Amino acid sequence: MDMPDHGGHGGHDDGHGGRPMCAMNMALNWSTDNVCVLFDFWRITSGTSLALSWAAVFVLGYAYELARARVRRWELSLARDCAEPQPEMPLADAARARRAARRTRALLYGLMVAYSYSLMLIFMTYNGYLILAVIGGAAAGHYVYSVDALGAVRGANCH
């Protein structure tokens, strides 16, 4: 006896515009089928979209290290400026400048945290290709931008 199928959900809009839902893997995989990267519209569905996504994620990892280096350089220059006495600056102006610098540092810190968590979310697709792109981009960026103002490479114990 045929029983009616009540679990079919036919005709219901799932919010994906007729596209299948994003693959949600919980183990390392090398899939190129319907992998969403950060957003529903950024999908890997073919070798071409994988190559483009890999390049984009590599650039994001690389750019993260560039951004870290620029923030670090700005903070070093700020520290140097604050260390040098500036007798011609009134105390009220100096206090206002310090508050503005703290606000800017807090904003930059928040942006860098958001950026790093975005890279972590890409990593958490558990897609081996994307994981290698994040690591490769970050490593390349670190190689290029990890030299500090004195010209010495920052050691692992200085993180």
Domain map (residue ranges) of the chain: 35-147
> DSSP alpha helices (H): ranges in the chain?
47-83, 91-123, 128-145
User: Is residue 97 very low, low, confident or very high in pLDDT (cuts 50, 70, 90)?
Assistant: confident
Higher pLDDT residue, 20 or 71? Answer: 71
Question: To the nearest whole number, what is the mean pLDDT of the chain?
Answer: 84
27 — pLDDT class (breaks 50, 70, 90)? very high
Mean pLDDT, to the nearest integer, of 131-147? 96
> In the predicted model, what is the mean pLDDT of residues 19-27?
88
Could you give the CA distance from residue 43 to residue 18 in angstroms, rounded to a whole number?
A: 14
- Which residues 6+ apart lie within 8 Å of 63 measured at CB? 137, 141
How many other C-beta atoms lie within 10 A of the C-beta of residue 125?
23
- Residue scoring higher pLDDT (92 or 62): 62
In this prediction, residue 52 carries a pLDDT of 98
Q: Within 10 A of 9 (CB to CB), how many other CB atoms are there?
A: 9
Per-residue confidence (pLDDT) for residue 148, from 0 to 100: 63
Our CA dihedral for 147, 152, 158, 159, rounded to 10 degrees, sits at 0
Q: How confident is the model at residue 93 (pLDDT cuts 50, 70, 90)?
A: confident
Predicted confidence at residue 11, as pLDDT, reads: 45
**pLDDT, average across residues 108-125:** 97
Report the alpha-carbon distance of residue 98 to residue 95 in Å, rounded: 5
pLDDT at residue 152 is higher than 60:
no
